Amino acid sequence: MGGRLQQLAPGVHAWLSEPSGHGHTNAGVIVDDDGVTLLDCLLAPALAAPLAEEMAANQLPVRRVVYTSSHVEFTGGSSVFWMAARYGRRQTSALLDQPANPAVYRALYPDHAQAFDDDFATRPVSHTVDTAAWLSPTVCALPTAGEQRENLVALIPATDVLFAGAMCSFGVTPNAFDGDPEAWADALGELVGLATTIVPGIGPVGGADDVLALQAYLYSCVEAGGDPSRVPPGPWDRWAERHLDAVNVERAAMLAAGDDGVPPSMLRLAGLA
């Protein structure tokens, strides 16, 4: 298990986890004259350390970190980049100001349980982003929503690359336990035309077809009416981690009924029920 850098354009790279899946997330590396803007920072310090070593070996200081979500899959390695400015939405800032729950992380990511000791903590947001903003001469942060109530993505217009982070998972079933599957699907319709190359938070680098497949899956979860068996056949038949259908369908049905709670199916996965 580890990661590798894939160059997408001059100065623009994706750090792709191998294998890919929940807990094995991606990061973006964009090089400007003053150093690196990092898009997300992996699950835990042990997984982020090889990326930090790669940057150090190339004498590339990490100046900025963009959190696309508050979820630990995307923020857990943040302590490795402790000197960087950290950008995120207000919701992300509020959630990261709360104490971490290492016991839940150990239950959700048993392969990395040793990374979550009782002192585990993430680095808080230092700069909130609630409107589109240029963070560097090449990186534009764009607010969006769906995976949570508030998310960020990062567009590199000069290279036609979008780092979608938590908003996209390709080849792996998403997890909408505290998101809104319908709003998420709607937002993907706005993101799909922003760039030809799209780097997901989970899975291989893709493009519009992958985003549209994810959108169709999320709409199918809404239309399932609380019954995971009603998710129809589709491209997702080849995706990993389909046990998350139960979470996504249940969450959509709960929201339709006016309940914003965490689905019981997710509580069971987290060892809380």
pLDDT digits (tens, 9 = 90+) for 25-83: 999 999 999 999 999 999 999 999 999 999 999 899 999 999 999 999 999 999 999 99
Confidence category of residue 1, pLDDT binned at 50, 70, 90? low
Residue 8 has pLDDT above 80, yes or no: yes
User: What amino acid is encoded at 206 in this protein?
Assistant: G
Give 122-146 pLDDT, tens digit per residue.
999 999 999 999 999 999 999 999 9
Tokens representing 246 are 């139960």
Verdict on whether the full-model pTM lies above 0.95: yes
| Residue 38, phi then psi, degrees to nearest 5 | -105, 130
d(CA 222, CA 216): 10
Amino acid at 72: V
> Coil, helix or strand for 39?
strand
DSSP string over 59-102: T--EEEEE-S-SSHHHHTTGGGGTTSEEEE-HHHHHHHTSPP-H
Residue 2 near residue 18 (C-beta atoms within 8 A): yes
C-beta of residue 125 within 8 angstroms of C-beta of residue 67 = yes
Tell me how many domains the chain contains.
1
Locate tokens 């922003």: which residue?
194
Give the domain CATH number at 85.
Answer: 3.60.15.10
Q: Phi and psi at residue 142, in whole multiples of 5°?
A: -125, 120
Q: Which of 43, 119, 36 is nearest to 78 (CA)?
A: 43
Task: Tell me which residue range forms the domain holding 128.
Answer: 2-269
